[in-house]
Structure 1
Amino acid sequence: MSSERGTTVGFRSERGAVLLALMLATGLIAIDATILATAVPSVVAELGEFNQFPWLFSVYLLAQAVSVPIYAKLADTIGRKPVILVGVGLFLIGSVLAGFAWSMSALIGFRVLQGLGAGAVSPMAMTIVGDIYTVAERALVQGYIASVWAISSVVGPALGGLFSQFVSWRWIFFVNVPLCLIAGWALVRSYRETIVRRRHQIDFAGAGLLTVGLTALILALLEGGNAWAWVSWPSLASFGIGIASLAVFPLVERRAAEPILELSILTRPLILTTTLISLGIGALMIGITSFVPTYLENALGAVPLVSGIAVAALTLGWPLAAAQSGRMYLRYGYRTTVVIGGAIALVGAVALAISGPWPSVWTVAIIAFVIGFGLGWTAAPSLIAAQASVGWDERGVVTGVNVFARSAGSAVGVAVFGAIANQVIASGRGEHDFATIVSASTGVFIAVAVAAALMVLASLWLPRGAVDAAAYSADAIAPADPTSAVSLADAEPAGA
């Protein structure tokens, strides 16, 4: 597939070096998302505090979610390159410190730093793709990016298990060091952009409210029924603080000179709908990747590597569908492609909930592949539709909102699903036997199916004409310089 200017999409093109750099940067986040899961027993054995290990995942997702809007805003003011390089740097520092962690609390703290780095890398990679590739090309390129997650989903659990068994769990963090250095060097060397710098103001009040609100809600969901009763002062206070902070957040954003989250863009039906779809995608993904391994390992006695490979089927189906989705949405429109993809994912989620009482590695792997295939036809086209509806000066914000929604969906989703599982286990007198584990997992899978159904409902609200017209807008023309982004001076209207 090539652009109207005859520039190919492959790695031998002028943009190929940039794409490789973006894939390397994405690989950092992708491997980290899976490598820790199989090493948790080794981490707990050395550092203790088993009851705190879920926070290793929650704080990472939370830090990633709340930092994405900040990075997205900065990307539209100072450029994409410095933001993604800062993200790689923070991820590098966090990885080194995590490798030397002396307690579970310290490790949780360093995971926050890693999450702050991930919050810059993931959205910037997708934004840069939107800058240098045409609408027709982006589905194939997003397929390349998605393939990184597919490979990492297999390599990550294997590396985590190997390091934990033969070296030390600390190497699951130290392995990030050479990857960060290579990715940073590749970005500095290959990616060029021309921007017009201007003064900007960071919305610290909005960032604080968003962080406090999400943290309080996740705390209430994770600790409710465990550290304290659901109906207790700590529980009510956590829910109250979370809801109040998130309620005040929009009021603060309206008055902010440069709001951390451009809530005004959510008044556009296309952006609002794709944001809701991303929330569902995040919840769906975390429900599968976080709870299926525990389900298989406890119910069937499967080793971590086998359970990891079963889950990897999800991220194998994703890039296969994403790479082909371009033909679908250019021929039939974004809305049709997204609805079909969501329906496929919903069928898979319902099948998982139905098969929950009868654990099987092969069944889970097949279902995970189906869900991943459906998400491949949902995630990429919905994001590309949102990107294609705006110019360069808003693309970072739009991408950031999309990624924020997916991260927030994952962060809140893992807390909700964890609360469901904990409640079932508590009702079974806290026993971790076969029946209890299966019941708890089935309850989570039912909730995952509900999230998939809500995602499909949101996709049905996608506007028809505006979405499909985006595929043939001026944005389909590649930049004059295929290795650089359009400058702010070029992107802004005359007289701005």
Structure 2
Amino acid sequence: MVPRVEPPEAPAPAGASAPHAAGERGMRRGVVLAFLMLTAALAAVEGTIVATAMPSVVASLGGFEYYSWVFAAYLLSQAVATPIFGRLADLYGRKPVLLWGIGAFLAASVACGFATSMPMLVAFRLLQGLGAGSTMTIVSTLAGDLYDVHERGRVQAYLSSVWGVSAVLGPLLGGALVERAHWAWVFWFNVPIGIVAILGLRAFLHERVQRREAQLDLASAGLLFLAIGSVMLVFTQGAAWGALPAGALLALGLATGTLFFRRQVRVTEPLISSETWNDRLLLLANVLTFAAGGLMIGLITYSPTYVQGVMGYSPTVAGLTLTAMSLGWTLASVAAGRLVVPLGPALTGRLGGAFALLGGLLYLLLTPARGPWWVALASLVVGFGMGFIMTTTIVTIQSSVAWQRRGTATATNMLMRILGNSVGAALLGGVLNLALGRAARALPGGGADALARIEASLTPGAGATVDETLLQLLAGGLHAVYVGVFVIGLLVFLLSLLLPRGRRLA
């Protein structure tokens, strides 16, 4: 049976075939948005809560050599699933794909809690990432369906606030569950939230899908899986596996990626529409998102390490300095939502680029004597940049394509952010390792145990201390990372200057 349609409060944007997903006027649409935000919270909290529990997980299951795979498997499957589920939502409707994704995420979460070994946990995290790739994509796509261009910025700000709150509550909740219950509840607590989201969306979200003679291009999906999977493995595991396996994976990724894009030009129903890359504005929006993703992961990964390891503050203080980025992101998203239509995406994008550059400069000027307030200020400014950039790009992309391509276009933008996170983490991690390695070799005896002592000092409860020489070594290595952060911020600013000024959203 084809679900009934309820017209949205505002007309569909130009180019859309019809209002395919909608809520009733006023309250009904707001109720749907509330359940969408609840759905977004599933993946948002999961992204921050697991790291807190991992020491307890390893102590219970063993298999420390699989530690990084718990995160890499989730990130890999999420990246691969994002564009595929975006296309499925365009073909078969948002609602069934979203409900399937939530169900898969919850089932995998339950299974993660029952894992009896690290390899088993990695396998279940792979399935969990598939569900997360679906929910993130479809939630944002539905926000574009339900609200017109004048309202999308505000709605995207609401969704951004979910990530901001989750960044604060996730680690706190994870620590409380591990300390007072069992690490398995880090995965199980999502289940009742997900069930409420499923029931609410089934009751209040109604859509009509125009049935078309089109199917998912499985060959393209397979090529995309190999391309993204290979490249993601290079960036997440390449350093551990060595040059030869990493080079082979990179070659496989490039080859299958080339075949994938060639196929997209030939097939009638491509997995990623060519208009995403042929339109200069959309192309630059995706490239800008990729660069901003690299900047964002640099701060999330290394700011707490600087505050805790170099400045000597507690993990709580280190986490609070990073919270400023979430606050700035949310505030800037609200502002960008109000400004992107009257000012145009070029100007709001440039505002984001300017904040990103300024934030990168503040990190470049960071010294231990400046204290955590400087880190919080730099994080806040970068958060302003992320809010303007991410809101501008997603609203621009969703307003520039028809309904039949909105899921695919949204998924492509999210994929670029995920890839930017992965590439940024790998590049900045390489910079840190290179800087620390060079500095350690200059120490007496070659600094054979220097890195191990630094790592021990960053482990909560380990009771390890480091002398002034090692603190300077760590500070120098992280300063090299912040040089990279500044370069990425400069790149983001330069890319924002390329956005075409004549385009307006209508």
Q: The TM-score by the shorter chain falls in which range? A: 0.7 to 0.9
Q: 1:265 to 1:313 in 2, by over 3 A?
A: same
Identity %: 38
Q: Which residue of 2 aligns with 1:312?
A: 323
Residue 214 of structure 2 aligns to a residue in which SS?
coil
Q: 1:59 to 1:283 in 2, by over 3 A?
A: farther
Q: Which residue of 2 aligns with 1:178?
A: 192
Q: Is the 8 A contact 2:53 2:178 kept in 1?
A: yes
Segment drifting more, 393-402 vs 305-314:
305-314
Within 5 A, what are the aligned runs for 1:484-495?
none
Q: Is the 8 A contact 2:80 2:229 kept in 1?
A: no
Q: 2:497 aligns with which of 460, 464, 474?
A: 460
Are 1:380 and 2:417 counterparts?
A: no
Which structure exhibits the higher relative contact order, with contacts defined as CA atoms closer than 8 Å and separated by 6 or more residues?
1
Q: Which residue of 2 aligns with 1:483?
A: none
Mapped partners of 2:116, 2:307: distance in 1: 31
Q: Is the 8 A contact 2:310 2:368 kept in 1?
A: no
Are 1:21 and 2:32 counterparts?
A: no
Q: Which residue of 2 aligns with 1:271?
A: 282
Residue 206 of structure 2 aligns to a residue in which SS?
coil
Q: Which amino acid aligns with 1:98?
A: C
After superposition, what is the alpha-carbon deviation per residue over 1:366-404, rounded to whole angstroms, capped at 9, x for unaligned? 211111112111111221112112221222221111111
Q: 1:368 to 1:115 in 2, by over 3 A?
A: same
Within 5 A, what are the aligned runs for 1:78-93?
78-93=92-107
Q: CA deviation at 1:177?
A: 0.8
How many residues get paired? 462
Q: Which residue of 2 aligns with 1:164?
A: 178
Q: Is the 8 A contact 1:62 1:411 kept in 2?
A: no
Q: Which residue of 1 aligns with 2:476?
A: 439
The TM-score, its normalising length taken from structure 2, stands at 0.85
Are 1:242 and 2:253 counterparts?
A: yes
Q: Which residue of 1 aligns with 2:421?
A: 410
Q: Is the 8 A contact 2:160 2:330 kept in 1?
A: yes
After superposition, what is the alpha-carbon deviation per residue over 1:9-32, rounded to whole angstroms, capped at 9, x for unaligned? 999623111110110001111111
Q: Is the 8 A contact 2:321 2:373 kept in 1?
A: yes
Segment drifting more, 424-433 vs 373-382:
424-433
Q: Is the 8 A contact 2:102 2:131 kept in 1?
A: yes
Structure 2 segments unaligned to the other structure (5+ residues): 1-7, 12-22, 441-447, 455-469
Q: Which amino acid aligns with 2:341?
A: L
Mapped partners of 2:174, 2:475: distance in 1: 25
Segment drifting more, 162-171 vs 343-352:
162-171
Q: Which residue of 1 aligns with 2:154?
A: 140
Q: Is the 8 A contact 1:38 1:305 kept in 2?
A: no
Residue 355 of structure 1 aligns to a residue in which SS?
coil
Segment drifting more, 90-99 vs 412-421:
412-421
Q: Which residue of 2 aligns with 1:494?
A: none
Q: Which residue of 1 aligns with 2:15?
A: none
Q: Which amino acid aligns with 2:49?
A: I
Q: 1:70 to 1:52 in 2, by over 3 A?
A: same
Mapped partners of 1:102, 1:424: distance in 2: 38
Q: 1:368 aligns with which of 357, 369, 379?
A: 379
Q: 1:343 aligns with which of 354, 359, 367?
A: 354
Are 1:120 and 2:126 counterparts?
A: no
Q: CA deviation at 1:357?
A: 5.7
Q: Is the 8 A contact 2:236 2:426 kept in 1?
A: yes
Are 1:327 and 2:338 counterparts?
A: yes
Residue 502 of structure 2 aligns to a residue in which SS?
helix
Mapped partners of 1:240, 1:162: distance in 2: 44
Task: Give the CA RMSD over aligned residues.
Answer: 2.5
Q: 1:52 aligns with which of 42, 66, 72?
A: 66
Q: CA deviation at 1:443?
A: 2.8
Q: CA deviation at 1:343?
A: 0.9
Structure 1 segments unaligned to the other structure (5+ residues): 474-496
Q: 1:99 to 1:442 in 2, by over 3 A?
A: farther
Mapped partners of 1:66, 1:227: distance in 2: 21
After superposition, what is the alpha-carbon deviation per residue over 1:317-360, rounded to whole angstroms, capped at 9, x for unaligned? 11111112233223322210110112102211221133166573
Residue 36 of structure 1 aligns to a residue in which SS?
helix
Q: Which amino acid aligns with 1:320?
A: L
